[in-house]
A and B are shown apart, each in its own frame.
Chain A
Amino acid sequence: MTIRKPEDVVTPLDFSGMDQELLKTLFLRMVRAREFEEQLYYLFLTTKMPGTMHQATGQEAVAVGVASALNKDDYVTSNHRGHGHCIAKDVSLDLMMAEMFAKRNGACKGMGGSMHLCDFSKGMLGAFGIVGAGIPIATGAALSAQVRGTKQVAVSFFGDGAINEGVFHESLNMASLWKLPVIYVIENNQYALSMPNELVSAVTDYSSRGCSYNVPGERVDGNNVTAVYRAASRAVDRARKGEGPFLLECVTYRMRGHARFEPAEYRNKEEVELWSQYDPIKRFKEAAVEAGVLTEADLTAIEAQVDDEIEAAIAFAQAGEDVGPEDYKQFIYELDTTAKAGLK
């Protein structure tokens, strides 16, 4: 079944049992992810920001719902569309923005850029620009947690395009075989660049894809942060108890093109307009106010806080030193054998 109709997957937000602090955190992280990327879009238009970026506008509830169900020392691998995953794992906006500007004070010292953002101190093991590449790496982090006897879990975020890569299948098999504490999150934004689900996948009910490997799965409304959070929490609890991996499909919609300025003309306008009514941030605000769990003032205060944070991040980044032409030499190998290893 192909999902182009929101009504097939949309479920109402459910705030029961969630305290105010959690709700504020969910909203804060979603707004940070949205505004960070909106600001990048603007900066690409108006300044000399190098490189490119892939926006996850409209997909914020997936990153935030899942990452908010994790502990600080749990592991995450991300992909090329990964700003939101980093933000949801509390990577500093300053470091991220400085990385976007290729500054020495960036998260990756200006060596990685948008597609390789990471912060190991936050369990954020990296964004992998090769589709699907982070899947076995998260699986290995889960194996490591199991061998070392910690209670950490690992999450791999990837898109609907990645599940047709071989490593998806290899990883699910091994994770199930060895009951590894890993949660595979399919962020189904319905397009692999230009290709809709049904033109690239023989089976589009992606959460069922684990059945060959005895990995249980669930499809949730990926624009509903409370639904994502609840499903992720169940999967995390299971994994922590040693019950093995889980395949969580979050159905969402990529509101912008594949990459910076790509107009996404392979989609029709009606479809985009329809899905924009299900914007996860808009839905959260309306539902939270209606349910009386947060006030307009609470939400406005958080939005204002994020505006300030982003302004400060841009100032931090612009004050940073540009990457020097030979900075890279210190990062190829740990030891100073680099000279002997072929660098002159």
Chain B
Amino acid sequence: MRQLSLADAIREAMVQEMRRDSSVILMGEDVGRFNGAFHVSHGMLDEFGPTRVWDTPISEAGFMGMGIGAALTGLRPIIEFQYADFMFCAMDQIVNEAAKLRLMSGGQASVPLVMRAPQGATGRAAQHSQSVEAYFMHTPGLYLAMPSTPYDAKGLMISAIRSNDPVLILEHKLLYGAASPGGGKALTDQTISDIGSDVPEDAYTIPFGKADIKRAGTDVTIIATLIMVHRALAVAAELEKEGISCEVIDPRTLVPLDEETILESVKKTNRVVIASEDVARGGVGSELTALISRKAFDFLDAPVACVSTDNSPIPFGPAAEQHVVPQISDIRQAVYEVLKD
């Protein structure tokens, strides 16, 4: 089958949906003339023109609010935030308006919009590196999808565009692929597997709330998202040589969360590592740990280990960034830790 990069897979999803449904539009900073800061929207302005692909001013709160207004009145906007960090400029519109309108209106309002944002530490220092999922996992009314592979990215993106509720898709900059700025270097420097890069040409959807077992195993469950999926797979491949069998689960959507797949795996392996790039405090690791302790406490043979970013803004210096953000060695160490007794 044909292989695509993650950036190409997202673009293909957007393009196919925009061809199918004239109500789908794309808005964001530099998404048109510049093809998107990470080239995800390459060529879309040429194909769809300026009434479908809107190059906006640098006004995140403004164009997010406009996306909501358009979504309330018959369009299905895709809003690109150039970096996930910039979403904080639009926090009122996302959290107070988009997420709450359906309930506040007693079900009259639908806000069928998709927010896309690249995140993750890539040498760009504290304000262009954050992993923001915990803020939005905490906000009822939003869906939250995190594709780790091109296959997942296309299917989740199409599901998101067809959803009648607001969806946030967080994309990891290092996973975009060679055509994106920094992507080629990432492929050579990092251990990013080509898992899930076979992507069907026809449109398809991946249902929200359906985790994917990226690798089956029996000794320890590693729950991971985005680039941590790839780092976990690298650890699993190494440890196999030592006779340790790791199961790698990618929830794919944090909201809704496929608790069943996670808990089944925990009940099988009895040992859990959670690998996530958001900071530890109040984060995805803490939330999943709480879930597992509530619902599978009796099955645990060791405390759950969370591998997360240190409770610090992301520092610039490469050695420091690498230290605060979870690496393959951190995940490996955590696996040893939960297997200790």
Question: Chain A interface (Cβ within 8 Å of chain B)?
Answer: 75, 77, 106-112, 116, 118-120, 125-126, 128-130, 133, 135-148, 154, 166-167, 170-171, 173-174, 177, 328, 330-335, 337, 340-342
Q: Does chain A have a CB within 8 A of B208? A: yes
Q: Residues of A contacting B110 with CB < 8 Å?
A: 334
Q: Are B65 and A334 in contact (CB under 8 A)?
A: no
B187 in the interface, Cβ–Cβ < 8 Å?
A: no
Complex: A15 Cα to B262 Cα, angstroms = 71
Which of B25, B57, B105 makes the CB contact (< 8 A) with A147? B25
Q: Beyond A174-B63, A331-B106, is A136–B255 a contact (Cβ under 8 Å)?
A: no
CB distance from B245 to the nearest CB of A (A): 28
Stretch at the interface among B7-15, B67-75, B270-278, B307-315: B67-75
Whether the pair A170, B256 counts as a contact (CB closer than 8 A) is: no
Residues on the A chain within 8 Å of B107, using CB: 109, 111, 330-331
- Measured between alpha carbons, how far is A23 from B259 in the docked complex, in Å? 61
A130 partner residues in chain B, CB cutoff 8 A = 92, 96-97
Knowing A139-B62, A174-B63, A334-B164, the reply to whether A342 touches B257 (Cβ < 8 A) is yes
Partner of B140, one of A118, A173, A330, A342: A342
Q: Residues of B at under 8 Å CB distance from A?
A: 23, 25, 51-52, 56-57, 59, 61-75, 77, 92-93, 96-97, 101-110, 140-141, 143, 163-165, 208-209, 255-259
Q: Given contacts A109-B107, A173-B57, A177-B57, is CB(A125)–CB(B73) below 8 Å?
A: yes
Q: Do A144 and B106 contact each other (CB < 8 Å), given the known contacts A171-B62, A333-B141, A337-B208? A: no
Chain B residues within an 8 Å CB radius of A139: 62, 65-66, 69
Closest to B25 in A: A147
Q: In the assembled complex, which residues on chain B have CB atoms less than 8 Å from the CB atom of A107?
A: 106
Contact A337 B209 (CB under 8 A): yes
Q: CA separation between A184 and B300, bound complex, in Å?
A: 59
Closest to A136 in B: B65
Q: In the complex, what's the smallest C-beta–C-beta distance from A325 to chain B, in angstroms?
A: 15
Seed contacts A118-B104, A340-B209, A340-B257; 6 additional CB < 8 Å A-B pairs = A107-B106, A120-B109, A129-B96, A136-B64, A148-B74, A334-B163
| Residues from chain B with Cβ under 8 Å of A334 in the complex | 102, 110, 163-165
Q: Establish whether residues A141 and B63, one from each chain, have CB atoms under 8 Å apart when the complex forms.
A: no
Instruction: Give the residue of A147, A148, A173, A328 whose beta carbon is less than 8 angstroms from that of B103.
Output: A328
In the complex with contacts A139-B66, A337-B209, A167-B258 CB distance below 8 A: no
Complex Cα distance, B51 from A141, in Å, reads 14
Q: Within the complex, which residue of B61, B66, B71, B106 is in contact with A111, where a contact is CB–CB below 8 Å?
A: B106
The 10 closest A-B pairs by CB, nearest first: A140-B69, A136-B65, A170-B62, A109-B106, A140-B66, A340-B256, A108-B106, A170-B59, A137-B69, A116-B104
Asked whether A332 lies within 8 Å of B65 as measured between CB atoms, the reply is no
A330: B residues at CB distance < 8 A: 107
A167 with B68: CB separation less than 8 A? no
Complex formed: what's the CA distance from A328 to B257 in Å? 20
**A337 vs B140: C-alpha distance when bound (angstroms):** 12
**In the bound complex, what is the Cα–Cα distance between A136 and B73 (angstroms)?**
13
Q: Decide: A128 and B258 in contact? CB cutoff 8 A.
A: no
- Find the B residue at minimum CB distance from A119: B108
- A289 and B74 CA atoms in complex are apart in Å by 45
Question: B52: nearest residue on chain A (CB-CB)?
Answer: A147
Contacts of A331 on B, CB cut-off 8 Å?
Answer: 102-103, 106-107
The answer to whether A141 and B72 have CB atoms under 8 Å apart is yes
A129, A130, A174, A328 pick with most chain B CB within 10 angstroms? A174
The reply to whether A140 and B104 contact each other, CB–CB distance below 8 Å, is no
